[in-house]
Every structure is written in C-alpha cells, then in structure tokens.
Amino acid sequence: MIQTEVKLNNIKKSFGETHVLHGIDLDIKPGEFVVFVGPSGCGKTTLLRMIAGLEDITSGDLMIDGVLSNDLPSSKRGVAMVFQSYALYPHKTVYDNMAFGLKIAKTPKAEIDRRVKEAAEILQITEYLDRLPKALSGGQRQRVAIGRAIVRDPKVFLFDEPLSNLDAALRTKMRVELATLHRRLGATMIYVTHDQVEAMTLADKIVVLNKGRIEQVGRPLDLYNKPASLFVAGFIGSPQINFLPQEFAQRYGASTVGIRPEHFRVEAGGVIKGTLKHAEKLGNETFAYINAGVLGDITARIDGTLAMEPGNAIELDFEQQHIYKFDSSGKRIE
C-alpha cells in the first residue's frame, strides 16, 4: 500500500457570500490516521469533500503526493471515499459491488478477482461474496463499502462518518476493526466524525474544527491533557469537563477553570459542596451528577463502591495540578 502525504495550504470555501472554511493549513503525513472532529456545521465534511474532489476549492492549494490537485477530477486524485450510507447496489452480489468500479475502469478480470478476494480476506467477508446486500447486517454492509475502497488501491482513504448508522455495540467493534485495518494497510486515512470517542480511539492525529477554523491539532492525549481553548477542553472528553465560573476561577487567576470528572474525589471538608441529583452506577465507577449551588451542575467520576443516593449531601476536592485555567478570550493559561 502506497503511503501518501496530503497538504492543505490556506484552503478556503465559500458558498456565495457564506464563508464556510476560513483558511485551513494542515500537513497529513504519509500513513497517518487523521480524524476531523467537531460539531455539526463546523466544516469537517465540506473539507473532506474538497479533498475528495466532490466540492470545489474557493482558494488555497491542495497537494496530494506532491501534486497540486485543486482542479484534478476525483478519479485522478488517487483517493477512495467511504460514505455514511453504504450506497451498495441492492441487485448485485457483494463480489460484484466490490468489483464494479474496477470493471468500469476496464481492469483485467484476473486482476479484479485477485483484488476482490484479497480485500474480502482482509475484511473477513469472504463467505459473503455471493450474497446480496439485503442478506447482510449493517456492519457487514459497511465492510463491503470499505472493501470497495480497498480494491481501488487508493493513495488516500476518506471516511465520512462511516459508523454513525450502526448501533453502539457494533460501532465499538467496527472501531477496533478500522484501527486494525489501518495498521495492516499502513495507508493514509482521513476520517470525519462528530463523535469525540471515535476520534480519541482511532486517530494518530486529531484536527478539532470550530466554525470553519482549526482550533487545535495534536495527538489524542495531547488534546485531552493540554487543550488549547475552552472549546477543545469541552469537546474532548467523556463525560464532559466541568467549567466553573469566574467567582470560583478568580481564586486561581483565571476567568474560567475546568476540572475533569475523574479529577474530583469525595472528601469531607472539600472546597465544593453540593447535593447529589443522580448517580449512574456502572460497577467499578459511578458518574455522580451534583447540584453545586452557585457553581452550577457538576459531574464527578467516583469510586463505584461508595454508597450514595439522590438528595445526599456531597463534598468534593481536587488537586490543583488538575485545574485547567482559561482567560477571558477562552484560551488556556499555561
């Protein structure tokens, strides 16, 4: 599998007077698994479609494998895209769905057969090659869609929220399979999702987008431990970080402070006092949802063996090194 570098230099996108992307600069190294993440409307799917050649680039340069690709048709870019919808031909077998693009390209029959069977083996769908899509589960259909991309032997794989139509258990399984596939192929992959758990578990590098701009780029744990802004701190992490208001934050020389749920501990005499609203008891841990009065609602991840019921008074403390400090503009204070 070819490893390809992708470079975006000051990429902008406008629809008439509406500006969607405001100058994206990004280097994607050969073989990296890069995830674009952000809320709906942040521009992540538009950016992916511009790389794919499905949307025009208003200005800026897109370089794929060192070649300026702004005006290249999709078929000449060496990319393959896997969509949210499987988009399989219902009347064609799995084999014919995977082979269709190669047949259109007039690839020799023996080469088509080799590629389809090799991809089917990688994705563990060999036994389904003679079935129609209606006889497959959602996860199996998504594997076929991925197989259709693999057989093209692309320079870059593009994934547009490919797991969003699957149930929670199957999404978890498919995340593992995608990570394994990336390690096996070693290909450059760009993946779009609004799910920060997918981003954290799959990515070599995460690109956090907000309102058409990059908020931060980095390895998953770097973004988790050193968020550059309130937005990144609030978007990365589940359950979400707690933001405490200025009345509390000014003690620490900040406009706002953030404390992640796992950094609280239940302790008599703790600086935060409140009332337990609800406890999600998950066995080894409990997510405690607390009304902390003027500090608002707080979520704490605590020891699952603690016996607590709604209405109980609760006091929390934390170590100061676990405080995230932010200034009035929302930037993190080092």
CATH number (domain holding residue 93)? 3.40.50.300
Residues 182 and 132 in one domain: yes
Residues 182 and 297 in one domain: no
Residue 1: predicted pLDDT: 55
Give the torsion through C-alpha atoms of 129, 135, 138, 141, to 10 deg.
Answer: 30
d(CA 74, CA 92): 24
Count of CB atoms within 10 A of residue 250's CB? 12
Average pLDDT of every residue of the chain: 92
Residues 200 and 297 in one domain: no
Does a structural domain hold residue 1?
A: no
Residues 172 and 290 in one domain: no
The range of the structural domain enclosing residue 269 comes to: 239-333
List the CATH number of the domain containing 274: 2.40.50.140
Residue 2: predicted pLDDT: 62
150-189 pLDDT, tens per residue? 998 899 999 999 888 888 888 888 898 889 989 988 999 9
Does a structural domain hold residue 78?
A: yes
d(CA 265, CA 334): 24
In 3D, which of 236, 90, 64 has the Cα closest to residue 156? 64
Residues 126 and 172 in one domain: yes
Residue 8: predicted pLDDT: 97
Q: According to DSSP H, which parts of the chain are helical?
A: 44-52, 94-104, 109-123, 138-150, 168-185, 196-202, 220-225, 230-235, 246-249
Spatial contact of 42 and 209, defined as CB atoms under 8 Å apart: yes
Residue 139: predicted pLDDT: 86
244-294 pLDDT, tens per residue? 999 999 999 999 999 999 999 999 999 999 999 999 988 889 999 999 999
Residue 174: predicted pLDDT: 86
Q: How many domains does the chain have?
A: 2
Spatial contact of 103 and 89, defined as CB atoms under 8 Å apart: no
Does a structural domain hold residue 233?
A: no
262 CB-side CA count, 13 A = 7
Does a structural domain hold residue 234?
A: no
Residues 119 and 172 in one domain: yes
Residue 331 Ramachandran class (φ > 0 left, ψ -120 to 50 alpha, else beta) = beta
- What is the C-alpha end-to-end distance of the chain, expressed in Å? 41
